[in-house]
Chain A
Amino acid sequence: KNQVEQSPQSLIILEGKNCTLQCNYTVSPFSNLRWYKQDTGRGPVSLTIMTFSENTKSNGRYTATLDADTKQSSLHITASQLSDSASYICVVSLNNNAGNMLTFGGGTRLMVKP
């Protein structure tokens, strides 16, 4: 069964600190891995998309890494800000890349405190 597991489920950090969120998946055949940010009561917004051949991709203070051999990804947030408080969702795409072939993780809820 294709699964995406994220850890931790929730995380509290102080403003200005760094943090790393983890994503493990069993989806096969794998095409790409996406990280989304979802503010409370809003729809998810794309942060990064990585194919199996990419090891790292950055979007401002967000850096995603991918190890396709161990089927693990991480999202690193540098110098956190209060606006980073949100849920971060890891999404893995099957080989046909279509939106109906996505497996979503349960998300990590991040709270950044002043």
Chain B
Amino acid sequence: DGGITQSPKYLFRKEGQNVTLSCEQNLNHDAMYWYRQDPGQGLRLIYYSQIVNDFQKGDIAEGYSVSREKKESFPLTVTSAQKNPTAFYLCASSAWDRVDEKLFFGSGTQLSVL
């Protein structure tokens, strides 16, 4: 059963704590993305990776870090430097279909601050 799996579904962070959100895909996609979604706002790109061992900052990378050691995995760490981390986090991977890049999203992780 192919797809993108995000875990956990819900996560709580204490002040000064780093937390890591998991994203795994078995679609054999090269590119993976992390987005942040706030109520009423459009998704904003945090980080993306187009190939293993390489990643690039998106529009709102400050306070976040990622790694891409395996093709299947793209974990996101929300560091203590991110002062407003409460949001819904979406991971996506992509494949090219003729001329268009099609994004496939995971089910998301809701992060809240205690």
The interface of chain A, by Cβ under 8 A from chain B, is: 4, 9, 32, 41-46, 49, 51, 89, 93, 97-100, 102-107
Question: Closest residue of chain B to A97, judged by CB?
Answer: B101
Per the 8 Å Cβ criterion, residues 1-59 of B in contact with A are: 4, 6, 9, 31, 33, 35, 40-45, 48, 56, 58
A sample of 8 more A-B contacts (CB under 8 A), given A100-B56, A102-B103, is A44-B43, A89-B43, A98-B101, A99-B94, A100-B33, A100-B45, A104-B43, A106-B40
Q: How far is the CB of B79 from chain A (nearest CB, A)?
A: 22
B58 touches A43 (CB 8 A): no
A43 touches B106 (CB 8 A): yes
B108 touches A43 (CB 8 A): yes
Q: How many A-B residue pairs lie within 8 Å, measured between CB atoms?
A: 62
Question: Closest residue of chain B to A32, judged by CB?
Answer: B100
The docked-state distance in angstroms from the alpha carbon of A113 to that of B31 is 39
B99 touches A97 (CB 8 A): yes
Question: Closest residue of chain A to B91, judged by CB?
Answer: A43
Interface magnitude class on chain B: 20 to 34
B42 touches A43 (CB 8 A): no
The docked-state distance in angstroms from the alpha carbon of A105 to that of B37 is 11
Q: How far is the CB of B110 from chain A (nearest CB, A)?
A: 7
Q: How far is the CB of A56 from chain B (nearest CB, A)?
A: 17
B101 touches A43 (CB 8 A): no
Residues of B within 8 A of A45 (CB): 105
Contact with A along B83-101 (1 / 0, CB 8 A): 0000010101010000111
B42 touches A9 (CB 8 A): no
B48 touches A99 (CB 8 A): yes
The docked-state distance in angstroms from the alpha carbon of A107 to that of B6 is 22
B108 touches A42 (CB 8 A): yes
Q: How far is the CB of B25 from chain A (nearest CB, A)?
A: 12
The residue among B6, B42, B90, B107 with the most chain A CB atoms within 10 A of its own CB is: B42
Q: How far is the CB of A53 from chain B (nearest CB, A)?
A: 11
Question: Which 9 pairs between the two chains have the least Cβ-Cβ distance?
Answer: A43-B105, A104-B42, A104-B43, A99-B94, A100-B48, A106-B42, A97-B101, A44-B105, A43-B106
